[in-house]
Amino acid sequence: MGSDRFEMIVEARNLRAQCNMMPTEKLIKGGPETLSDAELLSILLRTGAPGQGVLDYAGQLLEAADGIRGLMRMDRDSLLAKPGMGIAKYAQLIAALELTQRYLLEALEQGETFTDPDVTRQFLLLKLRDLQREVFACLFLDNQHRLIAYEALFFGTVDGASVHPREVVRRSLELNAAAVIFAHNHPSGVAEPSAADRRITDRLIAALGLVDIRVLDHLVVGDPEVVSFAESGYL
Going 206 to 211 to 212 to 216, the CA torsion angle's sign is negative
Radius of gyration, alpha carbons of the chain: 23
If you average pLDDT over every residue of the chain, what do you get? 84
pTM above 0.75, yes or no: no
Neighbours of 81 (CB within 10 A): 10
By three-state DSSP, how is residue 179 classified? strand
**Domains of the chain, residue spans:** 3-100, 114-232
> pLDDT at residue 12 above 50?
no
CA angle 64, 67, 68 (to 5 degrees): 120
Between these two residues, 26 and 119, which has the higher pLDDT value?
26
pLDDT digits (tens, 9 = 90+) for 25-84: 888 888 888 889 999 998 888 888 888 888 998 898 889 888 887 887 788 888 888 888
**Residue 165: its pLDDT value, please?**
94
pLDDT digits (tens, 9 = 90+) for 147-190: 899 999 999 876 677 899 999 999 999 999 999 999 999 999 89
What average pLDDT does this structure show over 131-148? 91
**Residue 8: its pLDDT value, please?**
54
Domain 114-232 has CATH 3.40.140.10: yes
